[in-house]
Structure 1
């Protein structure tokens, strides 16, 4: 039976090549879930399992896993750090209860790090900071922590001070426990207690006093005692530390080297003991679709069911796999309501994700990330709930596209290609498909060159179609640079009453993007009122084909001034 109080739901965020996937693999191995330590470099990672990821040695999609540790049920989302796929991280952060921020000890804070910290602060996620790659050449823990402290408003406090660095990284000082913990040599990620090295005694004492001060400042009772007695008991320090982290007031810093599985058991301890359970987080806010009232749903397994779909995976054989976060209630296979689409969905077998594998579960409670196959109407951003208690949560908003190509099939099978791209649109919210009305080209837009290249590779692998990208034709426009006054006459005589019309218009340019504006300045009845709309219509028809090269004519103001 799943206990909400024992669930931890964290997203792993960090710049590219900061060791997110390697850390996830090490956590799985240390917890006994994996039989071997998966590695990105040799393609054995259980989290980067798509061929496109193995080829590039980077994460492209968020991968999910779960593991047991000290009676906790830990759910992790290993998200990409590359700019082309950062939308995956953004969506995963929206449904997490906490974040694990990875920063490489060699290269430190990068531009992407700043973006991920923005996600953390926007969602007010309690944060655990992992300084990774401590066993690498030029690893510098102190410099990296100082960089984080000076760049971000996260209040980082050192929880584990490294003993040694580079190839001599052999343990950490447990600042809260005031002891040394040395890594066992069997590669299992475990530690054994020992004496703090003499050369680190002063640094450890300073950091312990700083930790006490940070923790005390987050609680009125603790600060009063700290000021009076100058210290806190171990019990007060640990309880205060957990409360401060869970409240987002400080961010503990760990030192580890996931590739060698060094320090990972301590990261698991920090996740289990310091990060919040779902019921510690603020209630999820949504809108009642019937009354339009704002409503809240607490992480209560006995409350009405509600969940947010934040990811969809397209499979040519299994169909659509829908992944969602449960916010309230208890879910088992049944019929539930898609409040975003106002339709019912029949649930089949529920799964929890373990890399590319899907593990069946009987039910899901708040905080769990679960998946279900072959929902007919549900897509990313939809809310699922009990029909008797409907609610709609704000959907995640994808980042803007920045690059566009004209698209065609290299084999001429456009119908199959566009059908396959449509299925990919369900999976990738940053992918856009449009038709340019003027050039009649179909355009595909993404967040980067690599993004669209990966889409092409997935289309070929999953659906057997080849995507050809071309530079799109430029949809030119024409306009005027100055003012003009012109006359137009219409005269037709073919027996009986003839047709005659005469009008004068004045034209002037408008700002780019202002469009077309027609202003009637006729005084009196020189042109009868019923004929004036025809002048406007005729001008707009003429503007469809400009006078210079036949391109649409834009951004002009036209005055109808005289006529007969």
Structure 2
């Protein structure tokens, strides 16, 4: 293969494929700042997709995706960059590295067939974060092939050998011999600030040096000094490859001193990588001054083509929509039944909704009519739907715009327009054979943001705009809280919140105000109390007359409001007793002390007075409410707060700080248990008042390794000092 340029297929420089085995779908994973986007641009330069200035033919950059990304200086959404190399099409899925956008990362994992873990060598052991390790284990659980790419090798603190050992120890679970480098960096003279420019690499298996110091890629023989460095690493690599080989005679031949053919080693390496049992370490760097290729990217592209699996090896199953039970495995056949999945949704001001789609089976063509099946996430603001829609244009990403494809075959990734009902996670299939692909697991948003429309004009557009926001981002959950009457936007973190609000403002033209999130508190009586309600008015004509006397006593939690009639002698006419109950319940809903609903009490009506002319339904409703308020004034009112059951999963290194933090939140730790290798699961009960920012604080405490789930269990009395403060605050607000 020509190592100086990529083979371009299709329309101009747009990569295309005619068969699934000509496609490789690769997701780039790594935390923010690891160098994923820079690596993509270096690979794009090597394949000829962009010029030396990093621009495609239309003058835009590959990273020109979203105006919000530029304002926030962070990647916030999944992007796809198709490259052509050696007659193959490589779809690179560049994912956000920030934890708040893990939903985009999971979408990339679903669409990809292999993963490149991009790790900054400048960060040392911190570069392999707990979140990176958790993601590595997640990929291992499903057998996804993985390779490691080290970046930022030219910085003063970077050490290739040390970083490789860290990856072996942290990701390999010890002294793993299936995480080994394929090549070593060659450095130029150190600069005054301590930086060491990478000028080339030593390829271990071919036993050669690739030099970029002249601006061109030149293969040379290693020097005597380089041979000494090469020998040990090469032998270790060969032993690692042979250990994974299916040929059991190779190890014996190698130990007897036989030189194993290069072609045999390369073939065994590629097979081991494809089945996910060997994980090579490579490095990537921007092109040296004047060079036409990113440094190390030729070797990386060759590994992707030769070692990563084709889409046909990515097994995905679907459920037939007819009965919802029959499962079938999808064959990656362009002539088979259509089955595709929406992995990202965006809104374009000119063409409307744009869907990024991974085709698993069949061929998706422009102007086809397809069946759109929504999986149903009503609790997050997503409606279930089974509708037929006509596909608009089918295109491939190309810089900031798209280039027409006409069709997308099984295994490919493409943009589709005019699917007005399709949302992220939905399945597209043939109208004659509807299918449903089980959606990937989305993270649960646990940061509540209460919002209100800024103006009447914003209020008119808010509902529709929130629905469009939820369609684009399934990690968002919308809640209309029936208890606090607030509109709550649940997000994954502060950055996720900022992006959601910015999208509402800039993309959908809706301005919202963030207000304090309220927790659904309750009130109850601390002991028995009596109250008398007297409502007497004379204003000419029929007046208003009603008197009722009640006794209120507390009940066990969860009892609600119980109303008992013990009136004797007809002092309160029978037709007005329901009116008293209605007034009591209305006042209980409004609260009697701090404005929170009253619960768990028994209200007994035992006496009263009526007037033959002036008594009425409205008068007795008012009297019932007054009686309850008077009873509350003479009794102790306890505030009840909701208690959440919390399960926290965290790295063993941070169990102590997390337990201490839970105690500081008035939490009760109920137990701990191991949860896989190096992780602990903590069970606790915590007041929901203390959990509003826990999604942010836990991430900080655990260095990104922790996550948690929460669920409501019950209401219970809050401490007196805190309750008094809340009652005082309620008085000031009223």
Q: Where does residue 496 of structure 1 map in the other structure?
A: none
Q: Is the 8 A contact 2:32 2:98 kept in 1?
A: yes
Per-residue Cα deviation, 1:352-381 (whole angstroms, up to 9, x for no partner)? 112421111122122211111111221111
Deviation of 1:425 after TM superposition, in Å, equals 2.0
Paired with 1:306 and 1:95, the residues of 2 have a C-alpha distance of: 13
Q: Give structure 2 stretches of 5+ with no counterpart.
A: 1-16, 189-194, 289-293, 375-384, 534-547, 564-577, 607-734
Alignment of 1:143-182 (within 5 A): 143-153=162-172, 155-164=178-187, 166-182=195-211
Structure 1 residue 345 corresponds to structure 2 residue 389: yes
Alignment of 1:68-217 (within 5 A): 68-107=84-123, 108-153=127-172, 155-164=178-187, 166-183=195-212, 185-186=214-215, 191-217=217-243
From 224, 227, 242, the equivalent of 2:252 is 227
Cα–Cα, structure 1 residues 460 and 221, in superposed 2: closer, same or farther, change >3 Å?
A: same
SS of the residue 1:544 aligns to: helix
Q: Is the 8 A contact 1:481 1:509 kept in 2?
A: no
From 280, 299, 302, the equivalent of 2:332 is 299
Q: Is the 8 A contact 2:390 2:418 kept in 1?
A: no
Paired with 1:152 and 1:402, the residues of 2 have a C-alpha distance of: 28
Q: Where does residue 441 of structure 1 map in the other structure?
A: 486
Paired with 1:14 and 1:475, the residues of 2 have a C-alpha distance of: 36
Structure 1 residue 258 corresponds to structure 2 residue 286: yes
Structure with larger Rg? 2
Q: Where does residue 456 of structure 1 map in the other structure?
A: 501
Structure 1 residue 3 corresponds to structure 2 residue 15: no
From 327, 330, 355, the equivalent of 2:360 is 327
Paired with 2:300 and 2:581, the residues of 1 have a C-alpha distance of: 70
SS of the residue 2:122 aligns to: coil
From 279, 284, 289, the equivalent of 2:316 is 284
SS of the residue 1:331 aligns to: strand
Per-residue Cα deviation, 1:399-443 (whole angstroms, up to 9, x for no partner)? 222333332344542212443333222212222333233443322
Paired with 2:595 and 2:505, the residues of 1 have a C-alpha distance of: 39
Q: Give structure 1 stretches of 5+ with no counterpart.
A: 491-500, 521-532
Paired with 1:448 and 1:113, the residues of 2 have a C-alpha distance of: 18
Deviation of 1:481 after TM superposition, in Å, equals 8.4
Paired with 2:208 and 2:580, the residues of 1 have a C-alpha distance of: 88
Structure 1 residue 66 corresponds to structure 2 residue 111: no
Q: Is the 8 A contact 1:337 1:385 kept in 2?
A: yes
Q: Is the 8 A contact 1:310 1:396 kept in 2?
A: no
After TM superposition, the score normalised by the length of structure 1 is 0.84
Q: Where does residue 218 of structure 1 map in the other structure?
A: 244
Cα–Cα, structure 1 residues 184 and 33, in superposed 2: closer, same or farther, change >3 Å?
A: farther
- Structure ranking higher on relative contact order (CA contacts 8 Å, 6+ apart): 1
Q: Where does residue 529 of structure 1 map in the other structure?
A: none
Q: Where does residue 494 of structure 1 map in the other structure?
A: none
Paired with 2:141 and 2:597, the residues of 1 have a C-alpha distance of: 43
Q: Is the 8 A contact 2:525 2:553 kept in 1?
A: no
Deviation of 1:96 after TM superposition, in Å, equals 0.6
Paired with 1:436 and 1:365, the residues of 2 have a C-alpha distance of: 44
Alignment of 1:37-52 (within 5 A): 37-38=53-54, 45-52=61-68
Q: Is the 8 A contact 1:22 1:259 kept in 2?
A: no
After TM superposition, the score normalised by the length of structure 2 is 0.66
Deviation of 1:519 after TM superposition, in Å, equals 10
Deviation of 1:70 after TM superposition, in Å, equals 0.8
Q: Where does residue 414 of structure 2 map in the other structure?
A: 370
Q: Where does residue 498 of structure 1 map in the other structure?
A: none
